[in-house]
Amino acid sequence: MTHPEAGLARQIAPTGTLRAAINFGNPVLAARGAGGEPGGVSVALARRLAERLALPLELVLFETAGRSVQAVADGEADIGFFALDPQRAAQLRFAPPYVQIEGAYLVREASALRTGAEVDREGVRVVVGQGSAYDLFLSRELKQAQVLRAATSPGVVDEFLSHGAEVAAGVRQQLEADARRHAGLRLLPGNFMVIHQAVGIPTDRSDLALQGVWAFVEDMKASGFVANALAHAGIQGARVAPPTGDFRSEGALFATAQG
Protein backbone atom coordinates (compact mmCIF):
# COMPACT_ATOMS: atom_id res chain seq x y z
CA MET A 1 0.00 0.00 0.00
CA THR A 2 1.32 3.47 -0.84
CA HIS A 3 2.13 5.61 2.19
CA PRO A 4 -0.08 8.77 2.24
CA GLU A 5 3.03 10.98 2.41
CA ALA A 6 4.85 9.20 -0.45
CA GLY A 7 4.41 12.03 -2.95
CA LEU A 8 5.58 14.62 -0.46
CA ALA A 9 8.52 12.42 0.53
CA ARG A 10 9.77 12.37 -3.07
CA GLN A 11 9.54 16.16 -3.19
CA ILE A 12 11.50 16.65 0.04
CA ALA A 13 14.00 13.79 -0.30
CA PRO A 14 14.29 12.69 -3.93
CA THR A 15 16.99 10.09 -3.18
CA GLY A 16 14.56 8.10 -1.02
CA THR A 17 16.52 8.84 2.16
CA LEU A 18 16.01 11.95 4.26
CA ARG A 19 19.49 13.44 4.61
CA ALA A 20 19.59 15.91 7.49
CA ALA A 21 22.55 18.25 8.02
CA ILE A 22 23.31 18.54 11.75
CA ASN A 23 25.47 21.41 13.00
CA PHE A 24 27.35 20.82 16.25
CA GLY A 25 28.53 24.44 16.27
CA ASN A 26 25.37 25.49 18.13
CA PRO A 27 24.90 23.53 21.40
CA VAL A 28 21.26 24.61 21.66
CA LEU A 29 20.46 22.65 18.51
CA ALA A 30 22.73 19.61 18.63
CA ALA A 31 25.41 17.97 20.75
CA ARG A 32 27.17 14.65 21.05
CA GLY A 33 26.22 12.35 23.90
CA ALA A 34 28.63 10.50 26.17
CA GLY A 35 29.01 7.79 23.54
CA GLY A 36 29.41 10.27 20.69
CA GLU A 37 25.88 9.81 19.39
CA PRO A 38 24.18 12.97 18.06
CA GLY A 39 21.26 14.41 20.02
CA GLY A 40 19.34 17.62 20.54
CA VAL A 41 16.27 19.33 19.15
CA SER A 42 17.46 19.36 15.53
CA VAL A 43 18.21 15.62 15.63
CA ALA A 44 14.82 14.93 17.23
CA LEU A 45 13.05 16.94 14.52
CA ALA A 46 14.95 15.17 11.75
CA ARG A 47 13.99 11.78 13.17
CA ARG A 48 10.33 12.73 13.53
CA LEU A 49 10.15 14.10 9.97
CA ALA A 50 11.71 10.91 8.61
CA GLU A 51 9.11 8.88 10.52
CA ARG A 52 6.29 11.03 9.18
CA LEU A 53 7.54 10.60 5.60
CA ALA A 54 8.21 6.86 6.15
CA LEU A 55 11.82 7.35 4.99
CA PRO A 56 15.15 6.15 6.34
CA LEU A 57 17.18 8.93 7.94
CA GLU A 58 20.83 9.80 7.31
CA LEU A 59 22.39 12.35 9.64
CA VAL A 60 25.12 14.34 7.88
CA LEU A 61 27.28 15.78 10.67
CA PHE A 62 29.19 19.07 10.62
CA GLU A 63 31.16 21.11 13.15
CA THR A 64 30.22 24.52 11.71
CA ALA A 65 27.08 26.27 10.54
CA GLY A 66 28.76 27.47 7.35
CA ARG A 67 29.63 23.97 6.20
CA SER A 68 26.19 22.69 7.14
CA VAL A 69 24.51 25.44 5.12
CA GLN A 70 26.72 24.67 2.13
CA ALA A 71 25.83 20.98 2.27
CA VAL A 72 22.12 21.76 1.92
CA ALA A 73 22.74 24.44 -0.69
CA ASP A 74 24.79 21.95 -2.75
CA GLY A 75 22.18 19.21 -2.47
CA GLU A 76 24.34 17.02 -0.22
CA ALA A 77 21.51 17.12 2.35
CA ASP A 78 17.75 17.63 2.07
CA ILE A 79 17.16 19.64 5.25
CA GLY A 80 19.24 21.58 7.74
CA PHE A 81 18.71 23.64 10.86
CA PHE A 82 19.94 27.22 10.61
CA ALA A 83 19.40 30.76 11.77
CA LEU A 84 17.25 32.83 9.45
CA ASP A 85 19.47 35.30 7.66
CA PRO A 86 18.87 37.22 4.41
CA GLN A 87 22.32 36.25 3.10
CA ARG A 88 21.43 32.57 3.45
CA ALA A 89 18.12 33.09 1.62
CA ALA A 90 20.12 33.20 -1.62
CA GLN A 91 21.21 29.59 -0.95
CA LEU A 92 18.22 28.05 0.83
CA ARG A 93 14.45 28.03 1.12
CA PHE A 94 13.24 28.43 4.70
CA ALA A 95 10.34 27.04 6.68
CA PRO A 96 9.24 28.94 9.81
CA PRO A 97 11.40 29.28 12.92
CA TYR A 98 11.00 26.64 15.60
CA VAL A 99 13.33 28.03 18.31
CA GLN A 100 14.48 31.49 19.33
CA ILE A 101 17.84 31.98 21.04
CA GLU A 102 19.94 34.98 22.03
CA GLY A 103 23.25 36.21 20.72
CA ALA A 104 25.33 37.63 23.58
CA TYR A 105 28.67 39.29 24.24
CA LEU A 106 31.33 38.04 26.69
CA VAL A 107 34.22 40.12 28.05
CA ARG A 108 36.89 39.90 30.75
CA GLU A 109 35.93 40.98 34.27
CA ALA A 110 38.39 43.89 34.02
CA SER A 111 36.92 45.16 30.74
CA ALA A 112 35.64 48.74 30.66
CA LEU A 113 32.74 47.57 28.48
CA ARG A 114 29.50 47.43 30.45
CA THR A 115 26.78 47.31 27.80
CA GLY A 116 26.34 45.90 24.32
CA ALA A 117 25.93 49.41 22.94
CA GLU A 118 29.55 50.17 23.86
CA VAL A 119 31.02 47.34 21.74
CA ASP A 120 30.93 49.07 18.36
CA ARG A 121 33.90 51.39 18.75
CA GLU A 122 37.39 51.66 17.30
CA GLY A 123 39.96 49.39 18.87
CA VAL A 124 37.43 46.73 19.90
CA ARG A 125 37.97 43.28 18.37
CA VAL A 126 34.97 40.93 18.40
CA VAL A 127 35.59 37.19 17.92
CA VAL A 128 32.80 35.16 16.25
CA GLY A 129 32.50 31.70 14.71
CA GLN A 130 33.19 31.90 10.99
CA GLY A 131 30.02 31.65 8.90
CA SER A 132 27.74 31.63 11.94
CA ALA A 133 24.59 33.73 12.24
CA TYR A 134 26.54 36.04 14.54
CA ASP A 135 29.29 36.46 11.96
CA LEU A 136 26.75 37.34 9.24
CA PHE A 137 24.84 39.75 11.49
CA LEU A 138 27.77 41.52 13.15
CA SER A 139 29.68 41.84 9.88
CA ARG A 140 26.74 43.92 8.64
CA GLU A 141 25.97 45.82 11.84
CA LEU A 142 29.32 46.71 13.40
CA LYS A 143 30.75 49.83 11.78
CA GLN A 144 33.83 50.57 13.91
CA ALA A 145 34.69 47.39 15.82
CA GLN A 146 36.74 44.74 14.02
CA VAL A 147 35.30 41.25 13.52
CA LEU A 148 37.73 38.35 13.99
CA ARG A 149 36.70 34.82 13.04
CA ALA A 150 37.36 31.59 14.89
CA ALA A 151 37.22 28.35 12.92
CA THR A 152 34.20 27.10 14.89
CA SER A 153 31.64 28.68 17.23
CA PRO A 154 32.61 26.46 20.21
CA GLY A 155 36.19 27.69 19.75
CA VAL A 156 35.30 31.40 19.96
CA VAL A 157 36.22 31.95 23.61
CA ASP A 158 39.52 30.07 23.33
CA GLU A 159 40.37 32.24 20.31
CA PHE A 160 39.24 35.36 22.19
CA LEU A 161 41.56 34.50 25.08
CA SER A 162 44.57 33.45 23.00
CA HIS A 163 44.45 36.61 20.85
CA GLY A 164 43.74 38.99 23.71
CA ALA A 165 40.63 40.29 21.95
CA GLU A 166 38.13 42.54 23.71
CA VAL A 167 34.84 40.71 23.06
CA ALA A 168 33.58 37.21 22.25
CA ALA A 169 30.18 36.89 20.58
CA GLY A 170 27.95 33.86 20.21
CA VAL A 171 24.99 31.90 21.47
CA ARG A 172 24.31 32.76 25.11
CA GLN A 173 24.34 29.15 26.36
CA GLN A 174 27.79 28.48 24.87
CA LEU A 175 29.23 31.66 26.36
CA GLU A 176 27.73 30.90 29.78
CA ALA A 177 29.36 27.47 29.71
CA ASP A 178 32.69 29.02 28.69
CA ALA A 179 32.44 31.60 31.49
CA ARG A 180 32.10 28.71 33.96
CA ARG A 181 35.09 27.00 32.36
CA HIS A 182 37.38 30.07 32.53
CA ALA A 183 37.66 32.33 35.56
CA GLY A 184 37.54 36.10 35.16
CA LEU A 185 34.92 36.36 32.40
CA ARG A 186 31.43 37.88 32.36
CA LEU A 187 28.57 38.33 29.92
CA LEU A 188 27.31 41.78 29.07
CA PRO A 189 23.64 42.25 29.99
CA GLY A 190 20.94 41.67 27.40
CA ASN A 191 21.58 40.48 23.86
CA PHE A 192 22.73 41.93 20.56
CA MET A 193 20.27 39.87 18.53
CA VAL A 194 17.51 37.28 18.83
CA ILE A 195 18.23 34.39 16.50
CA HIS A 196 15.31 32.66 14.81
CA GLN A 197 16.34 29.06 14.14
CA ALA A 198 14.53 27.56 11.16
CA VAL A 199 14.57 24.56 8.83
CA GLY A 200 16.21 25.14 5.44
CA ILE A 201 15.92 23.11 2.24
CA PRO A 202 17.72 23.42 -1.13
CA THR A 203 16.49 26.13 -3.47
CA ASP A 204 15.59 23.56 -6.15
CA ARG A 205 12.92 21.96 -3.94
CA SER A 206 9.33 22.67 -4.92
CA ASP A 207 6.68 24.76 -3.20
CA LEU A 208 5.03 21.46 -2.26
CA ALA A 209 8.21 20.35 -0.47
CA LEU A 210 8.51 23.64 1.39
CA GLN A 211 4.82 23.62 2.28
CA GLY A 212 5.20 20.11 3.71
CA VAL A 213 8.17 21.07 5.87
CA TRP A 214 6.38 24.29 6.86
CA ALA A 215 3.30 22.37 8.10
CA PHE A 216 5.53 19.88 9.91
CA VAL A 217 7.38 22.63 11.82
CA GLU A 218 4.15 24.34 12.83
CA ASP A 219 2.76 21.01 14.05
CA MET A 220 5.90 20.25 16.06
CA LYS A 221 5.66 23.61 17.82
CA ALA A 222 1.94 23.39 18.52
CA SER A 223 2.08 19.81 19.78
CA GLY A 224 4.77 20.54 22.36
CA PHE A 225 7.33 18.36 20.58
CA VAL A 226 9.91 21.17 20.26
CA ALA A 227 9.51 22.19 23.91
CA ASN A 228 9.87 18.59 25.03
CA ALA A 229 12.96 18.06 22.86
CA LEU A 230 14.61 21.15 24.38
CA ALA A 231 13.78 19.97 27.89
CA HIS A 232 15.05 16.46 27.16
CA ALA A 233 18.36 17.93 25.97
CA GLY A 234 18.61 20.05 29.14
CA ILE A 235 18.53 23.34 27.21
CA GLN A 236 17.59 26.43 29.23
CA GLY A 237 17.06 29.96 27.94
CA ALA A 238 15.80 28.99 24.48
CA ARG A 239 12.17 29.67 23.56
CA VAL A 240 9.86 27.82 21.23
CA ALA A 241 9.15 30.19 18.34
CA PRO A 242 5.58 31.50 18.13
CA PRO A 243 3.22 30.09 15.48
CA THR A 244 3.74 31.45 11.98
CA GLY A 245 0.54 30.19 10.37
CA ASP A 246 -0.18 28.72 6.98
CA PHE A 247 2.30 28.57 4.12
CA ARG A 248 2.93 32.02 2.64
CA SER A 249 5.69 34.15 1.19
CA GLU A 250 9.12 33.19 2.49
CA GLY A 251 9.99 36.88 2.53
CA ALA A 252 7.49 37.33 5.34
CA LEU A 253 9.64 35.12 7.56
CA PHE A 254 12.47 37.65 7.46
CA ALA A 255 10.09 40.53 8.14
CA THR A 256 8.80 38.64 11.18
CA ALA A 257 12.32 37.80 12.37
CA GLN A 258 13.44 41.40 12.12
CA GLY A 259 10.30 42.83 13.68
Q: What is the CATH number of the domain that holds 12?
A: 3.40.190.10
Contact residues for 78 (Cβ-Cβ < 8 A; gap 6+) = 12, 13, 14, 15, 18, 19, 20, 72, 201, 202, 205
Those residues of the chain that have pLDDT short of 70 are 1-6, 248-259
- Same domain assignment for residues 90 and 21: yes
- Same domain assignment for residues 94 and 169: no
Looking only at Cα atoms, what is the longest distance across the chain? Answer: 68
Q: Number of folded domains in the chain? A: 2
- Same domain assignment for residues 73 and 19: yes
| pLDDT at res. 259 | 39
| pLDDT at res. 85 | 85
Q: Residue 1: inside a domain, yes or no?
A: no
Where a domain ends, among 145, 167, 193?
193
Where a domain ends, among 173, 193, 213?
193
Condensed to tens digits (0 to 9), the pLDDT of residues 59-85 reads 999 998 889 999 999 999 999 999 888
| pLDDT at res. 1 | 39
Domain range for 49:
6-100+196-258
| Beta carbons of 227 and 236 less than 8 angstroms apart | no
Where a domain ends, among 146, 168, 193?
193
Question: Residues 76, 250, 214, 94: is their CA dihedral positive or negative?
Answer: positive
Burial class (CB in 10 A: 0-12, 13-18, 19+), 228: middle
| pLDDT at res. 251 | 57
- Same domain assignment for residues 92 and 108: no
| pLDDT at res. 2 | 46
pTM: 0.80
Nearest to 116 by CA among 108, 129, 106: 106
